[in-house]
Structure 1
């Protein structure tokens, strides 16, 4: 009996990975049986050749649309007889039958030319001028003309950086491009990935660029190896590294050009503004479906902002948005039922892929494409109630704006604070002992941190905690959040981190997928979090120091949510000033460029958050 029990437990633990392996084997076999692979060098208008792989159905009884993915992350495996183990956005679409084309973007892997990160868009082009939109146009033109048995319709998709190339592809204006799905698209690197409101996301940027940013002097089927930290403990690694100026001296050795450029531009100047694709998203003709994850640690901003910008600037374009309870790309490569310790009660990704994504592309690429597909404007997952919701607009119009005020004794309430008593809380922020962003020992930014239990942080003296009484009814927040703080500091600079948290009741049931050591009773689930580098409180292009001990308004915008705080739960807000190593350490002494800060610039400071009737601090929310 013991043996059988242990075998059963082992099967439960291993089943997700076994199922994934079985799916991969099944897909791989299907591709070889049903698709023919060919490799091509497609010449762009300036003579540069881009390496492109085409997987075409062996069945010639019908014509197929082309699905294009342009990527800086390799279209491999390269060479005759070497096949991908999956094709397209999903196994569903692969089995439905499309021509799938993958292209190494200019300057990456087997493509010729020079790679430029987030290559700026050229508004007025000459005949030989190139940007990523012209490369997309030339690629589509070649594919439609040269790939046999295509029906003359093209769709484009991509996740993350390929999502950016999908967004830029909308600007190609090639008439064959009928449908496009930017998914978690990189959009503006002063808010995406590497920065959040001017604060620098250290492990994410360093770990990515230490490999991706290495020079590639000529076409190659291999990329740079991953950086070896020499330790599993990223907190210790980045603390020992010291000021950011040591990154080159100790590890990068000036070999990563973009790191050097980034450190020379700490403010939102013309360098960053030129890489922002949003001002160019006008006159969009293809149908668009932007996809993102509520818990995407990398490009949540990009998904929401791409949808909102296209919606605002292109009122006649079919434009829809899908947001699920996913990590970065989780809709494509997971069941979407859990993230970290949190359960969403259903396989959200397995619903999305055939019922939303495949339906969108099928309508515009295979069917007559008259009218619009039977999909809502906004298909959004409510992460507290664990249910899909459909909206005619996002943010939804049927919301009421309310203010959640900070009060004395750690109270959070919709009631404005009354006079009397101490009207502020304070804490000492020490850059030498910063608040960790996670309890997990890791060298990078974990995808689970956005739903992690925050009890470890709430017990620190340098984290302020405010929470409501136990809720007597459900409260659903829908749309953007704004944290409006009244603060002061004894220093001349500071970061401000705000976290919105769902506090579970002490009697909350265990989630079956968790080990017994994870207790959901009293769990403090992070729902949304954000950081603002205080020097940018008034202008991201023109930083300014704080006047020590002077009360100052600091607004911290938080990304959208759709979350129900259930009856019996509490709403909590945490405020802190360090979040390490997720965010680099602010010296707390104003220096022109924190990338050039010296060890002696880092100093302790006492920060205050005020909540008097005259100087209230609050979270502005939209209640559905």
Structure 2
């Protein structure tokens, strides 16, 4: 037996070199299908694509994609600086046309390609193809950034390279972008390059604590944890947020706090997450980065078109805050324009003939691009004599038409105001038309917070998520809950047109020592809407926001709420421009949780809600003094629809 085994091993050993030689000989006759580097034949394309690394003043090189129309001569440049992958944003081609390439995020083929612009998209430092280190909303050089570079210097250096290396251009540059790319369009305004002739910040991140991505009046936007994880963990978004529960409501509830969930996901490795934990209040770290503070102290040298979405689910604070900050410094601001429409975040760059389920009479995104954006860009970037749009172009929802004016109404309403009083009978009385004395109470239980959309709450970006349109979702589910106080007007017999930022004046007590207050202004549709039956009784939020009670007196210095003692909670809601039509009703809802859009308030005062222990979360009884609670908003001067 042993001899047979030995013989077999010897035969195998002797045959192995021959087998290997035969195998190699066979493979030598097979050429690989895939070349080491594939070169696309672009002879039939109507544009030239260049991928370049543009050097910055500190030696870092930033990856930049340049698309040049083959017919370009004396053409202007449209630049976008992004953390969202310049290659992906310029690689959607299904044909050899520049129009087909510009189908990605932040691109508008009907404006850019049809307009004959040279398109430039650049990865910000530290992201995707660019060198250097990434910092979320990198602070400007100074107290928070001791390096010699920031987004403003990177923009300056980029434009300097472009105007010297694109002979097809007229050396006029515009910068444009949505959200983070809107933020970089704002930073370009600081010590702007002489060739920068126009800036279009759309839905820009301006102040992440006061009301854009990260907080609203001190309440942390828990749903943004996934964005921070995906964006800031790796340069090329190779680490993707994960959840072991389909319903984010359960995921965040079981994790107790945003800080605990972040730590569970390893987010303490991420610098920006550590900064959030270190700065829960509106301290100097936040204040020094707020772009409305920064830009209000500088001359606005470059013509700027701010673009705001009235139903922006992510950054519905920034553009309007910056507009008012600039106007406060210089009422007759010669370089400032504003457009706002019935869009969600970035909706203006896409087809926009609906608002959630509500059908609009036209494509409002197309109107913005053709009637407002195109003339604005052409006026400053081309040699044609193109008339500018009006200073303010605003869509009036409800009556569904566009208005133009010289300026927004004053931020504080002192004349021509409508007051919406809360009443003890759950009615909403306009301008003192009903008895308001008394009180309304509800029990706010952190173990059963009010969901901000109908459950299941699917994480942002995932299939079937309601995130993109949550601001226009039906509020009837909230109105049916006992922990939501709902006040409704009688059926309107005349149109009520309101605009500006509603000011909430809410007087309430809580049995706890902290608490949140959510106020929503809602348009209630008639019970029957023949032209669109599914809208019968629909409750559309027109303006809504939250205030964390510990910041009722100071955003910088939080303090506990004295239990069972009446306190004033006063804050502004986002801007509105809306007509409540006859047959509709006006509604105000007040609640103390909006979950998991915002992290739960334990309703027991702790030093930081990010690290609140489970035992801190306790029910609290909220009592609203209706005689001292109302909303004030501008009465719009518009023609009767």
Residue 93 of structure 1 and its aligned partner are, at CA, apart by 2.7
Residue matched to 1:17: none
Residue matched to 1:407: 423
In structure 2, C-alpha distance between the alignment counterparts of 1:468 and 1:589, rounded to whole Å: 34
Residue 497 of structure 1 and its aligned partner are, at CA, apart by 0.2
- 1:581-608 CA distance string (max 9 Å, x none): 1111000000010001000000000001
Q: Is the 8 A contact 1:293 1:324 kept in 2?
A: yes
Residue matched to 1:361: 377
Residue 374 of structure 1 and its aligned partner are, at CA, apart by 3.1
Residue 147 of structure 1 and its aligned partner are, at CA, apart by 1.2
Residue 391 of structure 1 and its aligned partner are, at CA, apart by 1.1
Give the unaligned 5+ runs of structure 2.
1-40, 461-466, 637-641
Of 268, 286, 291 in structure 1, the residue corresponding to residue 307 of structure 2 is: 291
Of 272, 277, 283 in structure 1, the residue corresponding to residue 291 of structure 2 is: 277
In structure 1, C-alpha distance between the alignment counterparts of 2:523 and 2:612, rounded to whole Å: 37
In structure 1, C-alpha distance between the alignment counterparts of 2:50 and 2:339, rounded to whole Å: 33
Residue matched to 1:74: 85
Residue matched to 1:467: 488
Residue matched to 2:478: 457
Residue matched to 2:612: 597
Of 182, 189, 200 in structure 1, the residue corresponding to residue 220 of structure 2 is: 200
Name the SS for the 2:101 alignment partner: coil
Residue matched to 2:334: 317
Residue 127 of structure 1 and its aligned partner are, at CA, apart by 13
Q: Is the 8 A contact 2:288 2:294 kept in 1?
A: no
> Does 2:578 match 1:563?
yes
Residue matched to 2:14: none
Describe the shift of the 1:257–1:141 C-alpha distance in structure 2 as closer, same or farther (beyond 3 A).
Answer: same
Q: Is the 8 A contact 2:112 2:119 kept in 1?
A: no
Residue 250 of structure 1 and its aligned partner are, at CA, apart by 2.3
> Does 2:568 match 1:549?
no
Residue 79 of structure 1 and its aligned partner are, at CA, apart by 11
- 1:545-599 CA distance string (max 9 Å, x none): 1111001111131011000000111100000001111111000000010001000
> Does 2:467 match 1:426?
no
1:430-579 aligned within 5 A = 430-444=445-459, 446-511=467-532, 519-579=534-594
Describe the shift of the 1:533–1:93 C-alpha distance in structure 2 as closer, same or farther (beyond 3 A).
Answer: same
Residue matched to 1:11: none
Instruction: Report the TM-score when normalising by structure 2.
Output: 0.85
Residue matched to 1:219: none
Name the SS for the 2:311 alignment partner: coil
In structure 1, C-alpha distance between the alignment counterparts of 2:203 and 2:593, rounded to whole Å: 27
In structure 1, C-alpha distance between the alignment counterparts of 2:192 and 2:267, rounded to whole Å: 42
> Does 2:275 match 1:261?
yes
> Does 2:248 match 1:227?
no
Residue matched to 1:120: 139
Deviates most, 181-190 or 439-448: 439-448
> Does 2:267 match 1:246?
no
Q: Is the 8 A contact 1:51 1:110 kept in 2?
A: yes
Q: Is the 8 A contact 1:498 1:556 kept in 2?
A: no
Describe the shift of the 1:79–1:588 C-alpha distance in structure 2 as closer, same or farther (beyond 3 A).
Answer: closer
Q: Is the 8 A contact 2:371 2:389 kept in 1?
A: no
In structure 1, C-alpha distance between the alignment counterparts of 2:632 and 2:83, rounded to whole Å: 39
Residue matched to 1:53: 65
Residue 258 of structure 1 and its aligned partner are, at CA, apart by 1.1
In structure 2, C-alpha distance between the alignment counterparts of 1:599 and 1:248, rounded to whole Å: 16
- 1:296-322 CA distance string (max 9 Å, x none): 011111121222333333544321111
Deviates most, 422-431 or 393-402: 393-402
RMSD after superposition: 2.6
Q: Is the 8 A contact 2:503 2:632 kept in 1?
A: yes
Residue 253 of structure 1 and its aligned partner are, at CA, apart by 5.0
In structure 2, C-alpha distance between the alignment counterparts of 1:522 and 1:256, rounded to whole Å: 45
Residue matched to 1:20: none
- 1:397-448 CA distance string (max 9 Å, x none): 997112111112111112438779x711001100000011111523335122
In structure 1, C-alpha distance between the alignment counterparts of 2:378 and 2:537, rounded to whole Å: 45
- 1:322-365 CA distance string (max 9 Å, x none): 101001011112x2111222222211111111221111101110
Q: Is the 8 A contact 1:244 1:597 kept in 2?
A: no
> Does 2:76 match 1:65?
yes
Q: Is the 8 A contact 1:121 1:277 kept in 2?
A: no
Q: Is the 8 A contact 1:286 1:317 kept in 2?
A: no
In structure 2, C-alpha distance between the alignment counterparts of 1:568 and 1:259, rounded to whole Å: 48
Residue matched to 1:182: 201
In structure 2, C-alpha distance between the alignment counterparts of 1:501 and 1:475, rounded to whole Å: 13
Name the SS for the 2:185 alignment partner: helix
Q: Is the 8 A contact 1:497 1:529 kept in 2?
A: yes
Residue matched to 1:9: none
Residue 47 of structure 1 and its aligned partner are, at CA, apart by 1.2
In structure 2, C-alpha distance between the alignment counterparts of 1:200 and 1:337, rounded to whole Å: 32
Describe the shift of the 1:79–1:272 C-alpha distance in structure 2 as closer, same or farther (beyond 3 A).
Answer: closer
Residue matched to 2:31: none
Q: Is the 8 A contact 1:45 1:128 kept in 2?
A: no
> Does 2:116 match 1:105?
no
Q: Is the 8 A contact 1:210 1:252 kept in 2?
A: no
> Does 2:179 match 1:160?
yes
In structure 1, C-alpha distance between the alignment counterparts of 2:441 and 2:434, rounded to whole Å: 19
In structure 2, C-alpha distance between the alignment counterparts of 1:447 and 1:125, rounded to whole Å: 33
Residue matched to 1:610: 625
Residue matched to 1:308: 324
Describe the shift of the 1:237–1:373 C-alpha distance in structure 2 as closer, same or farther (beyond 3 A).
Answer: same
